[in-house]
Structure 1
Amino acid sequence: MSTTAPVRDGIANPAPLGLCAFGMTTVLLNIHNAGYFEQNSMILGMGLFYGGLAQVIAGIIEAKKDNTFGLTAFTSYGFFWLSLVALIVMPKLGWVAAPTAGAMTAYLSVWGIFTFLLFIGTFKLNKALQFVFGSLVILFALLAIGDATGNKSITTIAGYEGIICGASAIYTGIAQVLNEVYGRTVLPIGPVK
């Protein structure tokens, strides 16, 4: 009698790493946007290494797992964080002029449109990812409007909304880890019906 065993690709799920990297960095930046502390090296360090580098690594592993959505999302947002740090640091080093409010509005708007298009893709995924991407669309819109109008109150509101967005990404990443470790639903992510 012959039996077949399920074949595993031998590659761990990189999504929790990418989601936690995105989420934790987003929470910290948006605590700043909400007005609790000034922009500092902690935010820039997180943006470079955890939000940036860790997400790019997660995206590359998603490519090995043949997950185009994960590859596109994690790699893109990893490079978003790296480019955002560059936009902040390069002017301080005297390499280029700081971006104008109009330039930052364009930057945030393009990322918002990109995120909206990925959000459409989450309709075939789980409810938790739908919330992460939907709230990220709102965050980019609020940040772009805040830069376009110069209204600091909108940026503060964006900060609170960004904390919620980042926390939802952390939840989704940790839920995937705990659900896998325990072999059952510990934290629900609401699969699509």
Structure 2
Amino acid sequence: MIQQYKKIDLTSNPGPLGLFGFALTTILLNIHNAGFYGISVMIMSMGIFFGGFAQLLAGIMEWKRGNQFGSIAFISYGSFWLTLVFIWIAPIFGLPKATNLEMGFYLFAWGLFTLVFFIQTFNGKTVGKILFGLLTLLFFLLAVGNFIQSDFILRIAGFEGVLCGLVAFYEASAIMINEKYKRNILPM
């Protein structure tokens, strides 16, 4: 019988890369949702490259580390950013524009998906619970805002989304700083 060995790559922690990609892109998009500026190439390029590809890479590296939660989360949310940008640009290529109803269901589906991750954080660190709780709420607020076409709810979602992105930024920073100094400087 051939024995299989599980080789885990522990050369570096990809978590901060994925979290920073999520954080910055989420903050910038939700400043838009809060009504401060429109969708532009700035948000789309962040969505493709830092929110999308950087999170995909972080997810693959988490998989190599044997971290199922991190792998699925980063690959999925990286894919979220890529699909969102494609939804915005697809009409340029002749595909029909997504309706508010369709966007509501898209965002609701992501809310349900995120709820599964939130439940998994119950036995984890506080910052993870806060992050996935806020992200679940964000997707549901965005879904409702699209379903009923409420600029007010979308604006509230924007402010809540900035807070969500800031929590992810804090978590990424805490992981890097705590690992660098080999002690808990920023509590998690």
TM-score, with length taken from structure 1:
0.92
CA drift of 1:123 comes to 1.3
User: Counterpart of 1:74?
Assistant: 74
Q: Percent identity?
A: 46
* Post-superposition offset of 1:57: 0.2
User: How far does the alpha carbon of each residue in 1:91-144 deviate from its partner, in whole angstroms, 9 at most, with x for none?
Assistant: 1x1330011111101100000000001111111221101111000000001100
Q: Is the 8 A contact 2:10 2:65 kept in 1?
A: no
Task: Indicate whether 1:44 and 2:51 are aligned.
Answer: no
Aligned residues: 181
d(CA) in 2 for partners of 1:58 and 1:161?
25
Q: In 1, distance between residues paired with 2:114 and 2:94? A: 29
Counterparts in 2 of 1:1-193, with a 5 A limit? 9-91=9-91, 93-189=92-188
Q: Structure 1 stretches (4+) deviating beyond 3 angstroms? A: none
- Partner Cα separation in structure 1 for residue 116 and residue 98 of structure 2: 25
Query: Quick check: 2:16–2:173 contact (8 Å CA) kept in 1?
Result: yes
Query: In structure 2, what residue type is equivalent to 1:22?
Result: F
Partner AA of 1:32 in structure 2: H
Unpaired runs of 5+ residues, structure 2, are: 1-7
Specify the code of the residue in structure 1 equivalent to 2:107: L
Alignment RMSD (CA, Å): 1.0
Q: Is the Cα–Cα contact under 8 Å of residues 24 and 169 in structure 2 kept in the other structure?
A: yes
